């Protein structure tokens, strides 16, 4: 494998991971906003700095609903 091919492959992986990480940051900010019923500076900062860990923390403390169903009744469609 040539060094140019390795460089292109590495750049592609970096772009893919960057896209995944930015998407995860946006989702974790949304979860932080929703779980705290508004803007909480500490929660938002943690969601931006460590979105993976923040989502694991929220899942373990608040449940897998991630605060999106809090206070809302889920209706069964028949």
DSSP string, 8-32: HHHHHHHHHHHHHHHHHHHHHHHHH
Distance CA 55, CA 57 (A): 5
Find, among 21, 20, 23, 29, the residue nearest to 66 by Cα.
29
The pLDDT confidence band at residue 56, using thresholds 50, 70 and 90, is: very high
What pTM was computed for the model? 0.75
How confident is the model over 19-40, as pLDDT tens digits?
A: 999 999 999 999 999 988 899 9
**Contact (Cβ atoms closer than 8 angstroms) between residue 34 and residue 67:** yes
Task: Count the Cβ atoms, other than its own, within 10 Å of residue 71.
Answer: 6
């Amino acid at each position: 494998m040539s060094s140019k091919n390795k460089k292109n492959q590495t750049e592609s992986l970096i772009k893919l991971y960057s896209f995944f990480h930015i998407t995860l940051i946006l989702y974790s900010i949304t979860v932080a906003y929703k779980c705290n019923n508004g803007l909480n500076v500490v929660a938002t900062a943690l969601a931006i700095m460590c979105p993976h860990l923040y989502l694991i923390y929220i899942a373990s403390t608040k449940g897998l609903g991630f605060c999106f169903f809090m206070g809302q009744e889920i209706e069964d469609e028949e």
